[in-house]
Amino acid sequence: MGKAPSLLVELPPSLGESVMASGALVKLISGLRPREVTLMGREPILELLLPLVPGARPLPYRKEGRWKKLFQTTRQFDIGVSFRRSLYSKLFLGKSCRKTYIFPKNIPGHLVEQYNIFIGRIAGGKEILPPQLSFTPHSYPRPTIGIYPGGGGGEAGRWYPDRFAQVANRLGKEFDIVIFGEVGEEKIAREVEKNLTISNYQNLTGKLSLPQLSQMIGGLSLFLTNDSGAMHIASAYQVPIVAIFGPTDWRKNSPYSSNYKIVRVPLRCSPCHKGKCPLKNHQCMEEITPEIVIETIFQLLEEEKEGGGF
């Protein structure tokens, strides 16, 4: 038997992609059994995924001259695997690794499946490992629903803050409410707050690290969200999800779990993958009313109750 390889893994750039790749990352390590592992990526993503690979060495990107520094300092690895498709990734791994594998463009299906198929070609195994995170879910004192009014890949993918508030006002009769969001989404969260008539809520937007966000989402009774990276965190913890989709592709980016419902309007222009509505009418979000979302939430909660999950 040959010597176990040294392995360099470049993680995906975004939160959602990274969570969707988490199962494939575990599959890669299990299949190759490397003697040492280095994970390369953005620092917040490293914080999120390093616990899945005990003993792995982090190699964070730096904002200033990140590629120049990496080219200058990184030693040689036996195998390099990138979950990205960028030219720089190809050049860097080609220089730093004896054998390289770059995530291809031609694999069909959900992104979780694409990542698993890609890794199966490297490390063997046809099983599809779902998203997984290792942080212990937070224990809320009362049943709690989380809402995520940001994300969406841009303005066009965001349902309206006042409508999130209307849903929260209705749900607040039976549940505590937590507003989530990343740094830079504080204004959106404040718009939700401005329209709330309940007091049993907290706003954690911009206040949590990704491990903390994972813990807080992991303990929820349900998560209402736009298409977002946080949605995939909820999926990793099997939290019931109601996800609102407009310009993004629900077929490739939906939660990879069984207990979710998609709210969307079937339009010819959707998904358009645009940050702003090119038709300037935002019909894919305009036609989604708070009543539709509230009804969908209670349908999912009832299904969870009947299945013993709530």
The pLDDT of residue 277 is 75
Domain presence at residue 132: no
pLDDT tens-place string over residues 69-127: 555 555 689 999 999 988 888 888 888 899 999 999 989 999 999 999 999 999 999 99
What are the pLDDT digits (tens) for 81-96? 999 988 888 888 888 8
Evaluate if residue 253 carries a pLDDT over 90.
no
Is residue 227 a part of any domain in this protein?
yes
- Distance between CA atoms of 214 and 219, rounded to whole angstroms? 9
What is the per-residue pLDDT for 57? 95
pLDDT in tens, 222-232: 999 999 999 99
113 and 204 both lie in a single domain: no
The number of folded domains in the chain is: 2
- The answer to whether residue 138 is domain-embedded is no
Give me 44's structure tokens: 């917040």
Contact 8, 93 (CB under 8 A): yes
Range list of H helices, the chain: 15-32, 43-49, 66-73, 87-96, 111-123, 161-171, 186-194, 210-218, 229-236, 250-253, 283-286, 290-306
CATH of the domain at 295: 3.40.50.2000
Pair (159, 283) in one structural domain: yes
Together in a domain, 169 and 29: no
Tell me whether residue 167 is in a domain.
yes
Q: Are residues 187 and 238 in the same domain?
A: yes
Between 286 and 180, residue with greater pLDDT: 180
Lowest model confidence (mean pLDDT) among 62-66, 169-173, 275-279, 299-303: 62-66
Residue 139, domain member (yes or no): no
Whether residue 267 sits in one domain with residue 237: yes
Number of neighbouring beta carbons within 10 Å of residue 14: 15
For residues 75 and 177, membership in a common domain is answered with no
Residue where a domain terminates, one of 72, 92, 123: 123
Q: Which of 123, 154, 175 delimits the end of a domain?
A: 123
Same domain, 63 and 199: no
Do residue 58 and residue 204 come from a single domain? Answer: no
Which range marks the domain in which residue 85 is found? 6-123
- Flag whether 200 is in a domain: yes
Does 152 map to a domain?
Answer: yes
| 116 and 189 together in one domain | no
Residues 272 and 240 in one domain: yes
For residues 133, 136, 141, 143, the Cα torsion angle rounded to the nearest 10 degrees is: 20
- Same domain? 49 vs 169: no
| Domain end residue (candidates: 123, 152, 180) | 123
Whether residue 133 lies inside any domain: the answer is no
- Please indicate, yes or no, whether residues 200 and 273 belong to a single structural domain of this protein: yes
Reading phi first (left if > 0) and then psi (alpha if -120 to 50, else beta), residue 14 is in beta
Give the gyration radius of the chain's Cα atoms: 20
